[in-house]
Structures are given as C-alpha cells and as structure tokens.
Structure 1
Amino acid sequence: MTLVDGARSRTSDHGVSGIERAKRRIGAYAALAKPRVIELLLVTTIPAMFLAGREFPDPWLVLATLVGGTMAAGSANALNCVADSDIDKVMNRTKRRPLVRDSVSPRGALVFGIALGVAAFSVLYLTVNLISAVLAVATILFYIFVYTLVLKRRTAQNVVWGGAAGCMPVVIGWSAVTGTVEWPALVMFGVIFFWTPPHTWALAMRYREDYERAGVPMLPVIATPEHVAKQIVIYSWVMVGWTLLLAPATSWLYASFALLAGGWFLFYAHRLYSGVRAGEKTKPMQLFHRSNTYLMIVFVALAVDSAIGLPVIGLPF
C-alpha cells in the first residue's frame, strides 16, 4: 500500500465506529471466500447425497458436510485470491476484490485460507468420515497448486483440467453418505467436468480483454470467437450425453428432466455459435447464466428423483 493509499484508507475510516470497522473487516474476509461461487458448489453436493442413499439423507450429516465443504471451498478461493492478486489488479471484473482494495493484507488472506482448510478437514473428519476430509484437502491443493499456479497462466486448457477441482463436491457428498467412491459419483463428476468449459468460456468471451490484459491465455484470448463457440457446442453435447449415464441409477423422472434441460441448453449453445458464424453481435453472458440454471435443474431433478424413491431404470446387465 502506498502512502497515498494509506492516507485514503485512514480518511475513509475516519469517524467510523469500531462496530462498523469490524463489520467491514468481516465482510472483506467473507468476500475472499467468494460465497456466490460456493453456492453453486453446494447446489450439487446435496443432490449427490440424495442419490447416494436414494432417500433423504440424515439432516445432521448434510449440515456437517455443507459446513465442511463450505470451509474447504472458502479456503481454496481465499488462497486463489492471494496467488492471483496481481491478475485481479488489472481485470475490471476482479478489481474490487479485498486484496486489490487493501481491505485485507496478503498475509491475513493467506492465514485465513490455511485456517479454513485446516478447519474443513477437522470438521469433515470428526463429523463425517476420513475419506471426505481427505478429498476436501486434496481438492484445495489441486485448485491452488495445479490450476492456479501451473495451468491458469500457461495453457488455454486451464479450465478444462483445472475445472476438476469444481467437480469434487459431488464426490465428497457421495462419500459422506456411503464412505466410498462409486461409479455414480464419478458420472456426476463428469457432468460438472464437461459443464465447466462452456460455462467459463462464455464468461471469458465477455471479458476477453480483461484476460488478455492480465496475460491469462483463456481460449477466447488465443482463438477466434467461432472456434470458441464451436468448442462450447461440442462440450455441451458431451455434457448432455454424460448426464444420461446416470439414468441406470435413477428413474424416468430424472432422465426426462435431463433430456429436456439438455435440449434447452443445446438450443442456446447452437444459437450462440450460429450468431458468431454470421458475424452478429452475440451475448455470451446469457449462455453463462443459463449454464447455471441448467446445472441447477439437472441436480435438483436428481435430488427429487431420489427423494421420491421411484424404481430405478437399472443397468441392462
């Protein structure tokens, strides 16, 4: 922080009560955890727990898993803010994050992130099981050391392989109920894995200049809009097809919603591609927001299907 920044900070705090300063500090640390990102992760964790038992899971187990999972995700996000603080300073989308605004020190954010990770392991180990706790820590380490520090700044495939970290909540949710990792958990992992590129590339198309200025080689930065839109369509088709692999572990209800939601999302993915090819002004953020809705529909259908307990389709052998 420069002398001028420090003076501004002191001026902005002048006349502010101790309670208000405490609220601001708590809000800054909460922002490090990126709560809006965590919300999406939790939307997938609970349905995975429903599917694991094909019934309502124990509410206390759900609560413990969500608390531990929230801490783990918050840890990864806070540590990501520390590692990416130089990038965040030059991107309009991220320039209001706590480290950029000096509302939290790098050391404070680092300690906060590590403390959340330790707390996540402790909560999951003591209240859920060891495998869920280990998976949560492995996710944090993968997100920071593989995605943030290695892949993000070096390859356009960063969100493809780095996105695996965002797929882990469903595996953790499954293991919390069963104590194991079985094929339905891996299929749910795959759904989110193939969902991540269309979701993230649509956002990156909108903020292409931000990523280019920060030196992050997102696909929209190094490839033509037509190529990016084509890749979005390809991954969308694979994603929709992958959701149907869960049919043997569910009933006709889930399969129907997966098909309908998939067709809905594919329509907009193809419309984006057609617009780009025709040279029209497109709105990739619409697809970005619809991708969130799509994922929610698929996983809510999974939870409802499991809660109702309809007969499963089953494997053909």
Structure 2
Amino acid sequence: MGNSIVDFIIMTKPRVWVFLLITGIAGEVFALSILRSLNVIGFFYVALYIALGLMGAESVSNYFDLSIDRKMKRTMNRALPSGRMKPGVALYGGSILIIATLILAAFRSLWSLVFMATGIFDYTIIYSLISKKRTSWNIILGAYSGGAPLLAGFYAFTSSYNIVAILMFLTIFIWTPLHIWSLSIKYKDDYAAASVPMLPVRRTTKQSMRVLFPIAVLAVLVTVLTGYEFRDYFSSYVGILVFAVYLLLGISLLVSYLRALADPERRIMKLFVSTNIFIGIFFVFIAIFSLLIPFIGV
C-alpha cells in the first residue's frame, strides 16, 4: 500500500506540479498583498485545490501518454509504462482529484474555477490527448495550462483586471516553449522513437534554435515589462530596484539563449537549466516583493 501511494505521487511528476503550485501561490500572495488582506485560511484552501488539480491533471495526462512513455528511454521506467501501476489507477485517481478540485474551487471563486477547469482541459485534452502526437506546435497549444494556476490563485481573491497578473501569465506562456523545446533538442531521438513530432524532431537543431529566437526575445520583453508595471506598487527607489531585478533577469535569459545558439550541441542543456532558474527566480521575487507591498508599497 505504501509503495502504491509513493508510486502514485511520483507518477504525478512532483517536480512539475510543485513548480506550477509555486506560481499559483505567487498569484495568491500578490492578490492578497495588493488587497492588504491576511486571509490565511483562504490562502491554504486555494493552494490545496490548485495542488490537487495539478496532481490530477498530471495523472490523467500520464494515462494518455502511456503509449509514448513505453517507447522513450527517458520515461519507460516510470510506474505506468513499467507496469508497476495499472493504467486505471492513473485515470480514475486523477479524475477524482480533478473533480475534487473543481468542487473546492466552485466554493471559492467563479473565476478561479474557470481558470482551473480550462487549464486542466488544455493540458489533458488539448495537449496530451489531441495535439501531442499530431503537431510540432503541440507545446504552444498546451502553454496556457502552465499559466492557469497563477491566474486561479490570483483570481481566487479578486475579480479585477490586473496588468501585472496578466504579464506574469504571459511570461509563463512564452517561457514554456523555450523551456520544453530546449529539452526536446537534447532528447529529439527519444521523441522520434515514440513518434512524437516535437519541433526538433521535424526540424534540424539549427532551425529549431532559430525558431526559439523570437520566443526568447518575447520572453525577455514580457519579463522587463512585468518589472516595469510591478514597480508602480512601490516608492521610487524600491520601484527602481524591482525594475532592475527583472531587467537583469531578462538579460540573463537572453544571454543563455545566445550562448546555446552559438553552440547548441554543448550548451542546449545549459539553456534548459537556465530556463528553470529563470522562472524560479522570477516567481520567488514576485512573492518577496509582493509581501513587501503592505509595508513599503504605495
């Protein structure tokens, strides 16, 4: 029983959903900070259903990806493709978590429910079931799901339009193909063996890196714009610091891309790691600066 629970949790890809949960928490912290609200119970309630929804979506996605995972060296030893877990456990267990998420979200906020529901649908149906094995642009179609937890967290506490929240969402949306395609370049043979038409499978490494150029530039621009808009919540000197942090963060991402472009065979995984570090720092500072708003914000 213990091993089954551990296998189920591992099957939900904690490294993926914990990161997405952090973005949702960052959205919560930002919303509560600008509202000057200390809603601790609400905070943990929303974090709980975001986590359950992410776990459920990953579980159902793994069920749909089973035929792929059995063929890829990188994934064939996971619980489902290796046979340690029955496919029905992933499908029904994940579905139960998703239903629980939607019920909990419905009691909190209509907008939070909408973003959780559409995010789960995009990831499990649009990306995993429909587009993953049909088009090289699958990750573009699935990128919305990466930003949905952030919006679910933010709009669990407010229904007002907020440019910073939208820019945070766009950062994740644009960052996603840069992150996934850099990994796909490294494992393009693995994806090809499983008949998954990721961009680097259909195009040469050089062509794929060129496609990543406008994406990297867009990611930098949205990052800098996020810092520019976020600074308005602070006094002049602190606002300048906030802007500087996101300016430097955007520049560092662009430098990482340009280095990988010059030598993709040696540096592509360094770009992949850099995208992880970039998005982690991005949202850690969102949370830190947000926590300062009630004390030194304008």
TM-score (ref. length: structure 1) = 0.85
Q: By how many angstroms is 1:232 displaced?
A: 2.2
Establish whether residue 267 from structure 1 lines up as the match of residue 255 from structure 2: yes
Comparing 130-139 with 190-199, greater Cα deviation is found at 130-139
- Equivalent residue of 1:176, what SS? coil
Match of 2:184 in 1: 204
Deviations 1:186-209 (A, max 9, x none): 221110011011100111011111
Aligned-partner Cα distance in 2 for 1:227–1:212: 17
Q: Which has the higher helix share?
A: 2
Match of 2:235 in 1: none
Aligned-partner Cα distance in 2 for 1:271–1:97: 33
Establish whether residue 184 from structure 1 lines up as the match of residue 164 from structure 2: yes
Q: Runs of 5+ in structure 2 lacking a partner?
A: 232-238
For the structure 1 residues 213 and 57, does the alpha-carbon distance in structure 2 shift closer, same or farther, using more than 3 Å as the test? farther
Are the equivalent residues in 2 in contact too, given 1:254–1:302 (CA < 8 A)? Answer: no
What is the 5 A alignment of 1:102-117? 102-117=83-98
The percent of aligned pairs where both chains have the same amino acid is 29
- Equivalent residue of 2:125, what SS? helix
The equivalent position to 1:292 in structure 2, one of 265, 273, 276, is: 276
Are the equivalent residues in 1 in contact too, given 2:163–2:229 (CA < 8 A)? Answer: no
- Equivalent residue of 2:266, what SS? coil
Comparing 197-206 with 231-240, greater Cα deviation is found at 231-240
Comparing 266-275 with 253-262, greater Cα deviation is found at 253-262
When the two chains are superposed, the root-mean-square deviation of aligned CA atoms in Å is 1.7
The equivalent position to 2:23 in structure 1, one of 44, 49, 57, is: 44
Establish whether residue 60 from structure 1 lines up as the match of residue 44 from structure 2: no
Deviations 1:156-214 (A, max 9, x none): 11111211111111111110121455433222111001101110011101111110001
Aligned-partner Cα distance in 2 for 1:45–1:57: 17
What is the 5 A alignment of 1:122-141? 122-126=103-107, 128-141=108-121
Comparing 109-118 with 182-191, greater Cα deviation is found at 182-191
The one-letter amino acid paired with 1:296 is G
Q: What is the aligned length?
A: 286
Are the equivalent residues in 2 in contact too, given 1:50–1:56 (CA < 8 A)? Answer: no
Deviations 1:108-141 (A, max 9, x none): 2111011000111122233x32321232122111
Match of 2:292 in 1: 308
Aligned-partner Cα distance in 2 for 1:133–1:149: 22
Structure of higher CA gyration radius: 1
Match of 1:25 in 2: 4
Deviations 1:50-73 (A, max 9, x none): 322335752322211111011111
Match of 2:236 in 1: none
User: Which runs of 4 or more aligned residues in structure 1 lie more than 6 Å from their structure 2 counterparts after TM superposition?
Assistant: none
Are the equivalent residues in 2 in contact too, given 1:163–1:196 (CA < 8 A)? Answer: yes
Are the equivalent residues in 2 in contact too, given 1:98–1:104 (CA < 8 A)? Answer: yes
Q: By how many angstroms is 1:301 displaced?
A: 1.6
Match of 1:154 in 2: 134
Aligned-partner Cα distance in 1 for 2:172–2:115: 17
Q: Runs of 5+ in structure 1 lacking a partner?
A: 1-21, 313-317
Aligned-partner Cα distance in 1 for 2:273–2:262: 19
The equivalent position to 1:252 in structure 2, one of 240, 256, 270, is: 240
TM-score (ref. length: structure 2) = 0.90
What is the 5 A alignment of 1:198-237? 198-237=178-217
